[in-house]
Chain A
Amino acid sequence: MEMDRESGKLEQIVSQFRSKILHVVLDSRVPSLHRHQQHDSLSLSRVRKTDKWFNLVLGDRPPALENLNFSLRNLLDPMVIDIILVRHASCSSSVDNLYSPSAAAAGPSTETVIERWVVQYDCPRGFASPSGADASVSYKKIYKKCILLLRSLYTQMRLLPAYRIFRQLSSLNQTYNFDIVYKVSSFSHPFSREEEDGMKEYSFSPVEALPGCLCVSVTYHATLSDFDLEPLVSLPPKIITDYVGSPTTDPMRSFPSSERGAHATSFPFRGLRPPTSAPFQRPHSWSSGFHRGIPPTKTQSLAGSPPVYRTSPKPYDITSPPTDLYGNRIQNHRVSTLQQATAYDEYKLSPPFSPSASPSTPTYLSGANPLLTRHCSETAPVTIPLPPTGRSNRYLSPNSSDPSRHSLPPLSPRSSKHDTSSQESPSGIRSYRKIEALRAGESPSGLSNLYSAPKVVRDSKDDSGRFSGLLSSSGSPRIGFSRSSSRLSFQDDMDDCEFSCPFDVDDVDVSDSSSQNTENKRASEFTAQSNLVGKKSQDAAVGILVHMLRTAPPLRQDSSCYSTRSLRAEYEGGVGIASGFFMPRKTADALEELNSYREMKDLLLSKSGTQVVRKEGMK
């Protein structure tokens, strides 16, 4: 009885030894065995019965292992573990691989045995157990040596070349044109001469397990660089033709619905459109915030990634490990052997097991980070459509210094582009207004135009002259500013959009106001306009005031420039600038200017409900 128990011990050691080796090998070579594994701290910390064998905690054995153990019951037969590299044929387009992941596996593939592990209990006389008192000591020694062998085997698994591609396959962020499968059998086809080239062999020191000995050896490819192992392109480039930009870069822009196309909405027409019910065809990184009324779609909720490249959500979290020298290799310390318990057994196995052609996907799990098969976290590059040339041309207009132009002078000495723009009537005026609107869009406060006044030197004279002219005339700059601001605010009234710009203007308004160029209407106009000023464009008015202050010309006598500006001012629409404006600068002018400033101030304050607008005689 005791002898039976002793012989049983040896068999048990040999059997468990083979299972343990198989577990170590598959755990370090076949990523798909880690798929569908769920970790939790309890499972990781739990020491299973199988873990205690040879004092090496590896975690749950894959069910396939149990099947294999059953099939390889004859412990005297060798256990041959082939690690097979399956290289998929390169497709003409990597896009095909992406959109049909199984295409890569379905196509012709090349299989190469990159490692062959052979575990054998070499016992010519069968399991003849040792007898006597030394048996126990013998088993302990055998067991200890098996532990040592397994330690060194475990270490060596990580030093052989195949480990590197195993880690690549296990990575989260990349898919490759190859896969690793395994085959376990009790016999092995010898390598051809061709296959043997480039392969090395290492044999672990046999463990004496009397009457026989346990032998473990490995034949492996010394280098895998000869194989064309490449990552598949995760995201083919996709040109997004309807890119409309982000509100953070241009908050004043409206975002047309998808049916309208990608062209920007110009403010004079509509400002921001009310949100439509039509869903956007493509998500944007900013989709969650700006588009009111449009329910965020699934695609939109995936910020930063086009929906077509997203994989279906898995029941576990998606996290990406940090990268390191291995590329996508997991950097953190990981307990690699405690993540087993998969039910995946679809791999190719030698007979009597059923072959499987299922593609293996990177399923290596590390810690609590299971992998997705095709996890793409990148966004496709986008192209930003150039603004239509027609529109850009609209902003190119004759020089504002041309007195024959029935156009508004530039509001501020901005860049040369704007100075040369929008001097036509009414289209020129419209385009000018668009400039104003556009520039207002650049700054929510609407003051960008005015603050850029110091930039352009060459127009400073014009601008200052215009403004000074306005100030010095009965058509005071206050009026001028208020007019311009009122023009803008006029549009504000007409604009029903929720989001509007202080510089929104309308063609109609401009054309109407352009007809008012008599001095007699100035006062009434001023009143009307003053009403309009306070409604929505206090910001604009303040901006205008500031600009005026900045561009206020010094006291000087230079009448030539004022004549031109006065003519222009007549066509500003509604600003009655008296012909008497054409006078050299004197103290009186300065006083008038001061008065105009005061009036402006009062106007603003009155509109804010703090002061009654005082009307003073304008001359």
Chain B
Amino acid sequence: MNCEVCQLKELEVEHFEIREVLRCILHTIVFHRALGLVRPKDVDLELFEITYVQCGDVELEKKIDEKIDQFISWVEKHPNKKSQICLSFYEVKSKQPSWFTNKTERLYWEQWYVNLNVTQQPKQHSSKSHHTKVVVDPGESANEERSSRRAMVEASLREVLFQIIKFVNEKKDHVPPISEGVIYFPYEITMPSSSDSAFGMDMIKRMLHSGHPTMLS
């Protein structure tokens, strides 16, 4: 089985936008891979005028939030770095136990790479500051800059969501058959760990399991 890989467009986000952006992207992907009986739940983003869809599973939502928290912690320790979250879907296959392998193995059939460039928080030009009220011009220009930046992020996020839709539509054959009673395929969310090398090792392991080189598009 092929492992389809989708590298999503890189998003330049600020620290406080990470949670919303990741929730939006990860839930959208999972919704397209939750092929069991789902009750879709619309969620409006607070920072952007975008509505995304969740599959409505509470456990899934909780796990995704946990992963996002981990990612945010990592970002705080590694500021101003490009980061990547990998959402992988796999099948569990049993195999002959051997010295190096377990009884079961994961066959990854799809990987989504969410690329984020977390920018450093700009200097405080918050309108909440009393000083900005005194000096009108810098506050106004900062607000305009902020709103234009926000619009850009929103547009980029929309592009990413359309990219997901396009990918889901174009590639359907590799999706495994739906199991009875299963809402969504087994998935895994990986992110850079404390050291980048460990993250790289995870990638290599995954490649070995899938049996195909990572297809970068």
Contacts and interface: CB of A to CB of B under 8 A. Distances in A.
Interface in A324-367: 324-326, 329-331, 333-338
Interface stretch (A50-58, A109-117, A172-180, A477-485): A50-58
Interface stretch (A91-99, A141-149, A514-522): A141-149
B66 interface: no
Given A155-B31, A335-B39, A324 B53 contact: no
B170 interface: yes
Contacts of A151: 31-32, 35, 168
Contacts of A140: 177
Nearest to A143: B178
A324 B177 contact: no
B172 A55 contact: no
B178 A144 contact: yes
Nearest to A151: B32
Contacts, number: 98
Nearest to B53: A155
A164 interface: yes
Interface string B139-179: 00000000000000000001001101100111010010110
19 contacts: A52-B37, A56-B38, A140-B177, A144-B175, A144-B177, A148-B35, A151-B31, A152-B32, A154-B40, A158-B51, A158-B53, A159-B161, A159-B165, A163-B51, A335-B41, A335-B56, A336-B40, A337-B39, A338-B39
A204 to B, nearest CB: 5
B169 A152 contact: yes
Interface string B16-32: 00000000000010011
A331 to B, nearest CB: 6
A333 B168 contact: no
A149 B35 CA distance: 11
Most chain-A CB neighbours within 10 Å: which of B52, B161, B165? B165
Interface in B30-86: 31-32, 35-54, 56
Interface of A: 47, 51-52, 55-57, 140, 144-145, 147-149, 151-152, 154-156, 158-159, 163-164, 167, 204-205, 324-326, 329-331, 333-338
Nearest to B169: A205
Interface of B: 28, 31-32, 35-54, 56, 158, 161-162, 164-165, 168-170, 172, 175, 177-178
B40 A324 contact: no
B42 A152 contact: no
B38 A55 contact: yes
Given A55-B35, A151-B168, A159-B51, 20 more contacts: A52-B37, A55-B37, A55-B38, A144-B177, A145-B172, A148-B35, A149-B169, A151-B32, A151-B35, A152-B165, A158-B50, A159-B162, A325-B46, A325-B48, A325-B49, A329-B44, A330-B44, A334-B41, A335-B56, A337-B40
B142 to A, nearest CB: 19
B92 to A, nearest CB: 19
Contacts of A205: 169-170, 172
* Most central of B42, B46, B172 by chain A CB within 10 Å: B42
A11 B48 CA distance: 41
Given A144-B175, A148-B172, A331-B44, A47 B161 contact: no
A249 B170 CA distance: 69
A155 B30 CA distance: 12
A333 B46 CA distance: 11
A148 B40 contact: no
Contact of B40 (A57, A167, A329, A330): A57
A518 B73 CA distance: 91
A144 B36 CA distance: 10
Contacts of B169: 148-149, 152, 204-205
A331 B56 CA distance: 16
Contacts of B178: 55, 144, 147
A168 to B, nearest CB: 11
Nearest to B161: A159
A155 B56 contact: no
B28 A333 contact: no
Contacts of A164: 49
B41 A333 contact: yes
B50 to A, nearest CB: 7
A158 B50 CA distance: 8
Contacts of B170: 205
B35 A152 contact: no
B35 A155 contact: no
Residue of A140, A155, A156, A335 most packed against chain B (CB within 10 A): A155
Given A148-B35, A152-B165, A334-B41, A324 B51 contact: no
A156 B158 CA distance: 10
A204 B172 CA distance: 12
A148 B56 contact: no
Contacts of B165: 152, 155-156, 159
Nearest to A167: B51
A592 B42 CA distance: 85
A269 to B, nearest CB: 49
Nearest to B46: A324
B162 A333 contact: no
Contacts of A333: 41-43, 54
A324 B169 CA distance: 32
A167 B178 CA distance: 34
